[in-house]
Structure 1
Amino acid sequence: MAGAVLIGIKGEAGLWLVDLEKGTVVRYTRRLSGDLAKAASWRAKGVRVEKDVDFAVALKSISSAASGLYEG
């Protein structure tokens, strides 16, 4: 199982690092390099990049998730 997830939200600059073991989320501020930098450049051009994620939904608020409803 993955220990962390790096995510970007459409329309928002920057990336977020989710530590699944600690249950924390922080803005990712380290310099990107290699394949990660390449993927970030694709994202800047509007290309969706995903690897080993089988479900993700961006919500406007936490109450949307708590209500059990998803309206896309």
Structure 2
Amino acid sequence: MAKAVIIGIPGEEGLWLADLDAGTVKPLNSTGELATASSLRKAGGIFVKGVDLAVAVSSAQVALSGHVDG
């Protein structure tokens, strides 16, 4: 099972690393194949691997309330 997730969202220049064990989210300096995937993302591409649910919400409060922004 995955213990970390790399996140990139529209409007956010860089990537983020969410470490599920540590409970942290930190900026990630992408290199190698990850840098290639990130450059495709900047051009409008979407890359998903090993994630079965991902939803961008406007705030943590929205997520904690159980709502999904439309």
TM-score (norm 1): 0.87
* Runs of at least 4 residues off by over 2 Å: none
Q: 2:58 aligns with which of 52, 60, 64?
A: 60
Q: Structure 1 regions of 5+ residues with no counterpart?
A: none
| 1:12-36 deviation line (CA, Å, top 9, x unaligned) | 10000000111110111x3411x21
SS of aligned partner of 2:16: strand
| 1:18-68 deviation line (CA, Å, top 9, x unaligned) | 00111110111x3411x2122111101100111011101111111101211
RMSD between aligned residues: 1.2
Counterpart residue identity of residue 37, structure 1? A
Report what 2:39 is aligned to: 41
TM-score (norm 2): 0.89
Report what 1:15 is aligned to: 15
Counterpart residue identity of residue 24, structure 2? T
Q: Structure 2 regions of 5+ residues with no counterpart?
A: none
